[in-house]
Amino acid sequence: MADGRGSQLHPGAWWLWALALGTAATRTTNPLLLALLIAVSAYVVATCRPDTPWAHSYSAFVKLALAVLLIRLFFAVALGSPIPGTHVLVTLPEVPLPHWAQGIRLGGEVTAEALVFALYDGLKLATLLICVGTANALANPARLLKSLPGALYEIGVAVVVALTFAPNLIADVQRLRAARRLRGRPDKGVRGLLQVGLPVLEGALERSVSLAAAMDARGYGRTADVPAPVRRTTAALTLGGLLGVCAGTYGLLTAEGGTYGLPLLLVGLAAALGGLRLGGRRSIRTRYRPDSWGVRAWLVAGSGAAVAALLALAASADPDALHPGVVPLVAPALPLWPAAAVLLGLLPAFVAPSSAPAPAPTSAPKEPS
């Protein structure tokens, strides 16, 4: 199969691209760069999103990100902030707390510096959530499951079922509410919720039973006999590799471990991949028409990696531009070459065009008469 369309692009490329954008978001608190990352992801989703149930989960992640941002601002107002400030916006009644709660306050002065700091911090987390939502909207979870190593097959099935439950539930609710509106029945309030909830749960139960029957018919859970030395070697490589990855990541995040962090991370990754390779011998499943990693997949994943690498380089070369200060309170400026680096993330919109519409669902939840 060609990988020229968005529907045929390897799902792993979408996840690598989206996670790379999320990594870039963690390297900056500049609201202009974070807004640019959100705009890039939104444009790619609008261009390449297929017409499938999971593709509509992007708006849910955007709402979740907005809720996280509002909660972060609320905590900054209610619980105070360690950021000193001179621009007092409002003074709330302060609740006295016992001595064991020192360092925490309820109410008091709310400064502009504390709110801006909370806005920058919450916007970074919101951008990361939107990037994850972008991957959920673009990558086909069933095809992603086919691409996992055999050792991760059982875990992958559980993750895919969990990822597809919420989008299908949202699609069922929207379809039932539209049907009730067309019939002149209420779709809001407690009564509407009760009338919609029963068929939605019925449809979810039917899908669960069908999924269980399909998995049982396909021999899910069967394993092959593997010699004991291979099992012990697999466990040692996997456990040692994961420990090496953790230690290497910690070394990269600390200034003292910069010399040993990268080599230890690479050795840990190699050991973990070797353990997964050996662990795949337990799986006796076969792949029908596996997805190929083509040139377009390399371009998509490479564009995201380039954004993450350039933002990390910019954060070390000019930290003031990527982390605007709040004390004293100054307006953030848009650094030009980091902004140009973020625009490299638009490449998937041109190399992975919009996919063809998905086939109509075979079944839908029934509404009681």
- Please state, in angstroms and as integers, the Cα–Cα distance from residue 226 to each residue in 232, 281, 357, following that order: 10, 7, 43
Check whether residue 144 and residue 230 sit in a common domain: no
Check whether residue 135 and residue 152 sit in a common domain: yes
Contact 275, 237 (CB under 8 A): yes
Write the CB contacts of 65 (distance below 8 Å, at least 6 apart in sequence).
Answer: 125, 126, 127, 129, 130, 133
Check whether residue 275 and residue 181 sit in a common domain: no
- Alpha-helical (H) ranges within the chain are 11-25, 31-48, 57-78, 112-138, 141-146, 153-182, 189-217, 228-253, 258-279, 295-317, 319-322, 336-343, 348-351
pLDDT one digit per residue (tens) for the chain, 369 residues: 344 344 468 888 898 999 899 989 988 889 999 999 999 999 999 888 887 766 778 888 999 999 999 999 888 888 877 777 777 887 777 777 777 766 677 777 788 888 888 899 899 999 999 999 998 888 877 677 667 666 666 666 666 666 666 666 777 777 777 887 787 777 676 666 667 777 777 777 777 677 767 766 766 666 667 677 877 887 788 788 888 888 877 776 665 555 677 788 888 888 888 877 777 666 666 655 667 788 888 999 999 999 998 998 888 888 888 888 887 888 888 888 899 999 999 999 888 755 544 444 444 444 444
Number of structural domains (the chain) is: 2
3-state SS assignment for residue 244? helix
Check whether residue 218 and residue 246 sit in a common domain: no
Check whether residue 30 and residue 155 sit in a common domain: yes
138, part of any domain: yes
243, part of any domain: yes
Check whether residue 212 and residue 232 sit in a common domain: no
Check whether residue 67 and residue 133 sit in a common domain: yes
325, part of any domain: yes
154, part of any domain: yes
How far apart CA 73 and CA 78 sit, in angstroms, is 9
- Read off the pTM: 0.68
Give the pair of three-digit tokens for residue 14: 């979408």
Check whether residue 201 and residue 241 sit in a common domain: no
Check whether residue 89 and residue 238 sit in a common domain: no
Peptide linkage before 328 cis (omega within 30 of 0):
yes
Supply the range of the domain harboring residue 245: 224-282
Cβ-count burial of 218 within 10 angstroms (0-12 exposed, 13-18 middle, 19+ buried)? Answer: exposed
Alpha-carbon Rg of the chain, whole angstroms?
Answer: 25
